Each structure stands twice: as C-alpha cells, then as structure tokens.
Amino acid sequence: MSLLHRSRDDASSPAERQRGSSHELRVISAKIHTVGCSGLRTASVRGFRLSSGDGADVAGFDLGPSPEEHLLAALGSSLAQAISNVACARDLSLDRIDIALDGEILVDPLSGNGTASIRAVAGHATIASEDPAGHFVGVDDEVLAAAPIVAAVTFPVSLSIEVTGIDPAIQHSDWQI
C-alpha cells in the first residue's frame, strides 16, 4: 500500500492569519467514504451524514450535490450565522433570514472529468425584522468580515441585504426549508 501526503507550504489558514493567534485552537473532523466509480460520497460529521456526487455534466451520475455545491451551502450557512451574530451585537430583531447564493464556476476542459473551480459567489439575503431597514445599514460589510467561511476562501464573495418589515403583533411561524 502506498501512502500519499500533500500539504500547503503555509500551514496557517487564511482565517487564522487574518484573526491572529488570540483565539483558542480547536480541531473539527469529517470522514468521507466512497464506493466504486459512481461518484457518490458519504461524509460523516459528528454523526450527521451528508451525500455528495457529481452531476452528469461533470462525469457523474447526479447522485447528490457536488462538493462545490456543498461549499456554496456551507458559505450560505456561515453568512446566516454571521448575520445572526451581527444583528444580536447590534440588538436588532430577526424573524427570518433567507439567503440565495450563486456561484460562478469555471469548468476545466483539460481535466477530462469536468472538475469545476469556483471563481466568485454573489449572495442576496432577505431579513425579516421588526426594526426599520435603516438600522441594518453596514450589516453586509460586517457580515462579510465576520463569516468564518468567507475568511477561508480565496474567491470573492459579495452580499446584498434586503430588510422586510414584520408586524410584531402577529405571530409568525414559518419554519420551512
């Protein structure tokens, strides 16, 4: 059995270089399992399972979202987390956050398998809040600076935020995915 190991010359992450060394270091883990040539992969993170695959357009069988699509979803989740944190720090109310992301990918015709690389991501967040939209001015820049996944990627990420008002007297229960 042959063991291959490859790492970057610079062991620190972009986020670590940006934040400095005052933060506690913690290790997170994931395990990925692949069977055969179908392209279907199963990842396990703290007991949660995620599937990924490759679309038919990139030599796959379309058995799950691609790793690039998972990264896009992780980026959206990181942005939502940062919006919540920034809103909380500003004492702003949040009823709901909806984020739509579009990733621009460049398909490599030389790879033979259509492996794509993400070139840029544009996001739009719609926030439902009891607070006036004017209270959210500048939140987009704070969110981009605070989102951990944004700090870890090398491609540009843009975010626009729209605030829709809600009536605090009305009960809102719209948990949906």
Taking the domains of the chain in order of start, what are their residue ranges? 27-65, 66-167
Report the predicted TM-score, pTM, of the whole model to 2 decimal places: 0.78
Element (H, E) at 45: strand 41-45
pLDDT higher than 70, residue 16: no
* Span 39-68, pLDDT tens digits: 788 999 999 999 888 766 656 677 888 888
pLDDT higher than 90, residue 109: no
Tell me the fold of 66-167.
GMP Synthetase; Chain A, domain 3 (3.30.300)
Nearest residue to 158 via CA among 117, 102, 94, 118: 102
Nearest residue to 102 via CA among 119, 84, 116, 88: 119
Can you give the pLDDT at residue 120?
A: 94
Which amino acid makes up residue 17? R
Can you give the pLDDT at residue 62?
A: 79
The answer to whether the CB of 123 falls within 8 A of the CB of 157 is yes
Rounded distance between C-alpha atoms, residue 97 and residue 90, angstroms: 16
Higher local confidence (pLDDT), 1 or 135: 135
Can you give the pLDDT at residue 174?
A: 57
* Span 91-107, pLDDT tens digits: 999 999 999 999 998 87
Cα-based distances in Å from 153 to 5, 29, 78, 89: 22, 18, 12, 25
Half-sphere exposure of 171 (CA within 13 A, CB side): 1
